[in-house]
Structure 1
């Protein structure tokens, strides 16, 4: 009896259960030895093939990792706090996408012109915040126009160690004052949104990526030619006829850089949003993530084109990030531009549009979807409902508690409200906090009123002060920047003795002047400014 390949017992030709004796003349023994030699040879060959393939794969993986350029996440003074997980333990993610106008290579000079700027620090001509919701079911993108005047914090260039003092300037200058980490810090201070990562791409990188993708559909309502005119030098060179065109390579860069032909930098952001939405739809329709050849081409282009913050500076981490972005359906992607108004100091610049801009940032901080196509997001984790609603008892009697009040009502468009710190400190005195005083420091600016405390033993005191003024408990923050309980009156509380009640933004309730475009809208088409039609 022997065991067949199928596992069944069989009887040999000799009729007995013993089978043939081993030896040179035995047919069964010879065939078994030949089978064993064949199996050993096959296993050896297979091992070599597997190891060789794995080795090649490892070498290619290391090659891709070697392509990636990395930098410091933040190189400036910034105090933004990370978002707390929701009830399901999920956390949103924020990524800053920066388009650099660097001319510091032959390729970028050839594509961007302006040879006189070679060697100058690059500026951030494109700046977009990508917000990926905690449940990874929606995404919001907010552009800030490059000519937006903002406060740029103190930054240190990680490459040279040079320190730049804080300044008030247009936001695209932040890149030249400490690299992308300074741009990130500037955004965080403006929005109070913690930004997890940054990615930066230059002219040559845009062309490389556009070619790897294989073309993206864009549309114009009139013939367009973005060329120099007698009173408007420069231009991207974009030239196309009315209708929809599939663009890639240099033409894609021209589309993304075009400004004059659309009529303004604000409309350039709209054209960029149309391109990105179309690109996302294209990638999804091509099933790139299941096509090994396409995926390798994109990986090669992406790792050569992008510079990223160091904590995502590996192929695996970038791939994991891409897979998270991939889960968002196109009809849950909303592209917007920060609501803005003309800068009163310079008609060529803009500044944030007060309450409308604040609302956009609040929705991102609270992970409120920009669209109304989803379910209500899970609430953030709190210790308990009763604790969130009720301030704990003070550890020090009100009349013995020292409280400092600061006036931070100044904004980029409005002067500070006079005597604001003095008035609110008096309100606290009337409520029993007899040791409340005001800080006369000028020039402070905060979008939202906040109560800060330096150590855990003062948390209860800070909450009692917030409760007395009607300030929500979410605005009570631990901070090493203060030595005692400190009320900083922000621009959201410019009048009145009691903190104004704030309405909670609802999904899809974005300001009308945010120029929103949904990712599934295939009917978007750019109007061409009359002088650039042909």
Structure 2
């Protein structure tokens, strides 16, 4: 896993006023690096750090009041300062996303779901990937058309978003895990593509040829620099790798997240206002958050509270799953491993090794650093 070292500049032998002026950029750099862990908050923290961007970008962000949308039937908040963040990547085929996919998919689905846990003390982070093909019990939610959507068993996890939106996904994750989610951030594929193109691409290494007609990805084994479109193909690829299921795709998504973090580390994005604005403008237009994060100021404040986290300590895990006995194309949570994983997050404890093991092929134990 890529290790990121914090850069510190030489001390300046200037008078106090000059030192005070020099401090904010260092704080903003620390904010920028941490936020790369969740991909989405990455750019917005930089936008928030550049106060002159505020008026142009702040209005782009869409906010959802989770307490109003979900109600009071939620897990109890941890009696610690730990934080839990749900990061969603949506694959709507409308608007700017229309040209980003090769398949004919109606509506929108949550193509990527990460529960990021930041334990008390803010010294490390854990990212848990939930396979989109996981069969779950969807709680009663309000549908997108305003009607009441009844609870249903054995529905695909990524279908929850298409029927009822991000608030219902939050409610579903909370009820299946017992983990109270403090915030959520959603970005659609168009914003993701804009991020990669704005930074000039991301380097990845693949161990074998990948030819996936469904996603359009066509790579030979070796090193490649991916542009925005190729990056989307990379994180959406599932055929031609592993067992051809969603489980192999999760491995690619985790690999790409680390590669993206490494690329951002190498670039002085805050030193280029034009590039920073281009990235932030693209992402804020494609961003939805809970109301607690729905402004550049709130995003920057949240990011600053995470300054003590070393990105190199982040651990990536897949929710332990096994193939469904009724439908081998679907997976279900593997017990007791899955319960042990969620319990560790709820109690802000170290995750036991058994909670990282997935019986389904391609599940493995995740990667850590």
Q: TM-score, normalised by structure 2?
A: 0.78
- Cα pair 1:94 1:194 within 8 Å, conserved: yes
1:292-342 deviations in Å (ceiling 9; x for gaps): 454433322321222111210001122233344564223310111100111
How far apart are residue 111 of structure 1 and its match?
A: 0.8
CA distance, structure 2, for counterparts of residue 518 and residue 224 of structure 1: 24
Query: In the alignment, does 2:229 pair up with 1:250?
Result: yes
RCO higher in 1 or 2 (8 Å CA, sep ≥ 6)? 2
CA distance, structure 1, for counterparts of residue 302 and residue 255 of structure 2: 22
CA distance, structure 2, for counterparts of residue 287 and residue 163 of structure 1: 48
Counterpart for residue 73 of structure 1: 66
Counterpart for residue 512 of structure 1: 357
How far apart are residue 290 of structure 1 and its match?
A: 6.0
CA distance, structure 1, for counterparts of residue 88 and residue 274 of structure 2: 28
How far apart are residue 115 of structure 1 and its match?
A: 4.8
Counterpart for residue 433 of structure 1: none
CA distance, structure 2, for counterparts of residue 139 and residue 58 of structure 1: 28
How far apart are residue 248 of structure 1 and its match?
A: 2.5
- Cα pair 2:92 2:188 within 8 Å, conserved: yes
1:41-94 deviations in Å (ceiling 9; x for gaps): xxxxxxxxxxxxxxxx87741210111122232634642111112xxxxx1111
Counterpart for residue 310 of structure 2: 329
Secondary structure at the aligned position of 1:96 is classed as strand
- Cα pair 1:155 1:177 within 8 Å, conserved: no
Counterpart for residue 109 of structure 1: 98
How far apart are residue 192 of structure 1 and its match?
A: 0.2
Query: In the alignment, does 2:254 pair up with 1:280?
Result: no
How far apart are residue 211 of structure 1 and its match?
A: 1.5
- Cα pair 1:224 1:242 within 8 Å, conserved: yes
Counterparts in 2 of 1:365-380, with a 5 A limit? 365-370=346-351
- Cα pair 1:149 1:351 within 8 Å, conserved: yes
Task: Rate the CA distance shift 1:288–1:92 in 2: closer, same or farther, 3 A.
Answer: farther
Unaligned runs of 5+ in 2: 1-49, 359-363
Secondary structure at the aligned position of 2:328 is classed as strand
Query: In the alignment, does 2:156 pair up with 1:170?
Result: yes
Query: In the alignment, does 2:132 pair up with 1:137?
Result: no
Paired residue for 1:314, among 280, 295, 313?
295
Secondary structure at the aligned position of 2:120 is classed as coil
Secondary structure at the aligned position of 1:188 is classed as helix
Paired residue for 1:154, among 140, 146, 160?
140
CA distance, structure 1, for counterparts of residue 138 and residue 113 of structure 2: 14
Larger Rg over CA atoms: 1
Secondary structure at the aligned position of 1:186 is classed as helix
Task: Rate the CA distance shift 1:166–1:298 in 2: closer, same or farther, 3 A.
Answer: same
Counterpart for residue 93 of structure 1: 83
Q: Structure 1 segments of 4 or more deviating over 6 A?
A: none
Secondary structure at the aligned position of 1:239 is classed as strand
